Amino acid sequence: MRQHLAIFILSSFLSYSSFLFAQASKDASDPTGSNVTWEWGLHAGNLLPNQIPGLTEITGLGGFRGGYRIADQGFIESGVATGSGNGASWTNLYASIRMEIPVETIVGLVFTGLDAIYYEGAGRDKKLFGGGHVGGGIQAQLGGSVWFRSDMKFTVNPGTSMYIDFGIMFRMP
Protein backbone atom coordinates (compact mmCIF):
# COMPACT_ATOMS: atom_id res chain seq x y z
CA MET A 1 0.00 0.00 0.00
CA ARG A 2 2.83 2.42 0.87
CA GLN A 3 4.55 1.59 -2.40
CA HIS A 4 1.45 2.56 -4.41
CA LEU A 5 1.07 5.80 -2.44
CA ALA A 6 4.74 6.68 -3.05
CA ILE A 7 4.39 5.99 -6.81
CA PHE A 8 1.20 8.11 -6.93
CA ILE A 9 2.86 11.05 -5.15
CA LEU A 10 6.01 10.82 -7.28
CA SER A 11 4.05 10.61 -10.55
CA SER A 12 1.81 13.53 -9.49
CA PHE A 13 4.86 15.66 -8.66
CA LEU A 14 6.57 14.82 -11.99
CA SER A 15 3.39 15.51 -13.96
CA TYR A 16 2.80 18.95 -12.47
CA SER A 17 6.35 20.08 -11.68
CA SER A 18 7.02 21.56 -15.14
CA PHE A 19 3.75 23.52 -14.91
CA LEU A 20 4.57 24.82 -11.44
CA PHE A 21 8.16 25.73 -12.27
CA ALA A 22 7.15 27.37 -15.57
CA GLN A 23 4.88 29.75 -13.68
CA ALA A 24 7.67 30.78 -11.34
CA SER A 25 10.37 31.34 -13.97
CA LYS A 26 10.74 33.78 -16.82
CA ASP A 27 10.90 31.61 -19.91
CA ALA A 28 11.59 32.72 -23.49
CA SER A 29 7.94 32.53 -24.59
CA ASP A 30 6.71 35.74 -22.92
CA PRO A 31 4.63 37.38 -25.71
CA THR A 32 5.24 40.92 -24.36
CA GLY A 33 9.02 40.54 -24.06
CA SER A 34 9.07 41.76 -20.46
CA ASN A 35 11.58 39.01 -19.62
CA VAL A 36 14.13 40.08 -22.28
CA THR A 37 17.50 41.38 -21.06
CA TRP A 38 19.42 41.62 -24.32
CA GLU A 39 18.77 41.15 -28.03
CA TRP A 40 20.41 41.10 -31.45
CA GLY A 41 19.13 40.77 -34.98
CA LEU A 42 19.40 41.31 -38.71
CA HIS A 43 17.34 43.68 -40.86
CA ALA A 44 16.87 44.73 -44.47
CA GLY A 45 14.82 47.45 -46.10
CA ASN A 46 14.72 50.55 -48.26
CA LEU A 47 16.14 54.02 -47.72
CA LEU A 48 13.94 56.76 -49.15
CA PRO A 49 16.21 59.84 -49.57
CA ASN A 50 15.06 63.46 -49.76
CA GLN A 51 17.30 66.44 -50.63
CA ILE A 52 20.51 64.39 -50.36
CA PRO A 53 23.03 65.46 -53.04
CA GLY A 54 23.92 62.56 -55.34
CA LEU A 55 21.40 60.17 -53.76
CA THR A 56 18.06 60.46 -55.49
CA GLU A 57 16.87 56.87 -55.87
CA ILE A 58 15.46 54.41 -53.32
CA THR A 59 18.42 52.40 -52.04
CA GLY A 60 18.31 48.93 -50.50
CA LEU A 61 20.08 48.63 -47.13
CA GLY A 62 20.80 45.80 -44.73
CA GLY A 63 22.50 45.45 -41.39
CA PHE A 64 22.40 44.29 -37.82
CA ARG A 65 21.48 45.72 -34.41
CA GLY A 66 21.73 44.82 -30.77
CA GLY A 67 20.13 46.07 -27.60
CA TYR A 68 20.25 45.87 -23.82
CA ARG A 69 17.42 46.55 -21.33
CA ILE A 70 18.10 49.59 -19.11
CA ALA A 71 14.61 49.99 -17.57
CA ASP A 72 11.29 48.14 -17.31
CA GLN A 73 10.11 49.43 -20.71
CA GLY A 74 13.41 50.85 -22.00
CA PHE A 75 16.32 49.63 -24.11
CA ILE A 76 19.50 51.12 -25.41
CA GLU A 77 20.41 49.82 -28.85
CA SER A 78 22.96 50.35 -31.58
CA GLY A 79 23.55 49.04 -35.04
CA VAL A 80 24.56 49.58 -38.62
CA ALA A 81 22.67 49.80 -41.92
CA THR A 82 24.63 49.81 -45.16
CA GLY A 83 24.03 49.45 -48.88
CA SER A 84 24.67 50.85 -52.33
CA GLY A 85 22.91 51.38 -55.62
CA ASN A 86 22.69 53.72 -58.62
CA GLY A 87 26.28 54.92 -58.12
CA ALA A 88 25.79 55.86 -54.46
CA SER A 89 26.75 54.14 -51.20
CA TRP A 90 25.36 54.66 -47.69
CA THR A 91 26.51 53.50 -44.25
CA ASN A 92 24.67 54.52 -41.09
CA LEU A 93 26.00 53.78 -37.57
CA TYR A 94 23.46 54.62 -34.89
CA ALA A 95 22.67 54.50 -31.19
CA SER A 96 19.12 54.81 -29.82
CA ILE A 97 17.07 54.87 -26.67
CA ARG A 98 13.90 52.83 -27.20
CA MET A 99 10.65 52.48 -25.28
CA GLU A 100 8.44 49.40 -25.67
CA ILE A 101 4.65 49.54 -25.42
CA PRO A 102 3.08 46.05 -25.04
CA VAL A 103 -0.39 45.70 -26.60
CA GLU A 104 -1.79 42.17 -26.31
CA THR A 105 0.80 39.99 -28.13
CA ILE A 106 2.37 42.80 -30.21
CA VAL A 107 4.94 45.22 -28.83
CA GLY A 108 4.96 48.80 -30.14
CA LEU A 109 8.26 50.70 -30.28
CA VAL A 110 9.24 54.36 -30.20
CA PHE A 111 12.87 55.45 -30.30
CA THR A 112 15.21 58.39 -30.78
CA GLY A 113 18.96 58.63 -31.14
CA LEU A 114 22.12 59.78 -32.87
CA ASP A 115 23.58 58.83 -36.25
CA ALA A 116 26.94 58.85 -38.00
CA ILE A 117 26.36 58.65 -41.75
CA TYR A 118 29.15 58.00 -44.24
CA TYR A 119 27.93 58.28 -47.80
CA GLU A 120 29.10 58.81 -51.32
CA GLY A 121 26.60 60.30 -53.74
CA ALA A 122 26.74 59.53 -57.46
CA GLY A 123 29.59 61.60 -58.88
CA ARG A 124 30.48 63.06 -55.47
CA ASP A 125 33.16 62.60 -52.81
CA LYS A 126 32.66 60.47 -49.69
CA LYS A 127 31.50 62.52 -46.69
CA LEU A 128 30.82 61.88 -43.02
CA PHE A 129 27.81 63.50 -41.36
CA GLY A 130 26.43 63.54 -37.84
CA GLY A 131 22.68 63.57 -37.38
CA GLY A 132 19.73 62.33 -35.43
CA HIS A 133 16.67 60.18 -35.84
CA VAL A 134 13.22 59.37 -34.47
CA GLY A 135 11.14 56.35 -35.29
CA GLY A 136 8.64 53.72 -34.39
CA GLY A 137 7.76 50.16 -35.15
CA ILE A 138 6.33 46.86 -33.98
CA GLN A 139 7.64 43.52 -32.74
CA ALA A 140 5.85 40.20 -32.52
CA GLN A 141 7.07 36.91 -31.14
CA LEU A 142 7.39 34.16 -33.74
CA GLY A 143 8.35 31.48 -31.24
CA GLY A 144 10.72 31.07 -28.30
CA SER A 145 13.43 33.73 -28.52
CA VAL A 146 12.76 34.60 -32.20
CA TRP A 147 10.84 37.82 -32.92
CA PHE A 148 9.76 39.66 -36.09
CA ARG A 149 10.50 43.40 -36.08
CA SER A 150 9.60 46.22 -38.48
CA ASP A 151 10.65 49.88 -38.12
CA MET A 152 10.32 53.24 -39.80
CA LYS A 153 13.21 55.59 -38.96
CA PHE A 154 13.23 59.26 -39.99
CA THR A 155 16.80 60.62 -40.15
CA VAL A 156 18.00 64.21 -40.44
CA ASN A 157 21.36 65.25 -41.98
CA PRO A 158 22.39 65.02 -44.73
CA GLY A 159 19.01 66.09 -46.05
CA THR A 160 16.25 63.88 -44.71
CA SER A 161 15.56 60.20 -45.22
CA MET A 162 13.16 57.47 -44.17
CA TYR A 163 14.42 53.92 -43.64
CA ILE A 164 11.72 51.24 -43.63
CA ASP A 165 13.00 47.83 -42.55
CA PHE A 166 11.94 44.30 -41.63
CA GLY A 167 13.99 41.79 -39.71
CA ILE A 168 14.40 39.01 -37.22
CA MET A 169 15.44 39.60 -33.60
CA PHE A 170 16.79 37.05 -31.16
CA ARG A 171 15.68 38.23 -27.71
CA MET A 172 17.24 36.55 -24.69
CA PRO A 173 15.90 36.48 -21.11
pLDDT score, position 32: 82
Fold of the CATH domain 32-172: Porin (2.40.160)
Tell me the pTM.
0.78
Query: Would you state the pLDDT for residue 11?
Result: 54
pLDDT higher than 90, residue 49:
yes
The predicted model gives 12-17 an average pLDDT of 45
Structural domain spans, the chain: 32-172
Share of the chain above pLDDT 70, in %: 83
> Residues 120, 125, 129, 132: is their CA dihedral positive or negative?
negative
Across the range 139-168, mean pLDDT stands at 95
**Which pLDDT tens digit goes with each residue over 143-156?**
999 999 999 999 99
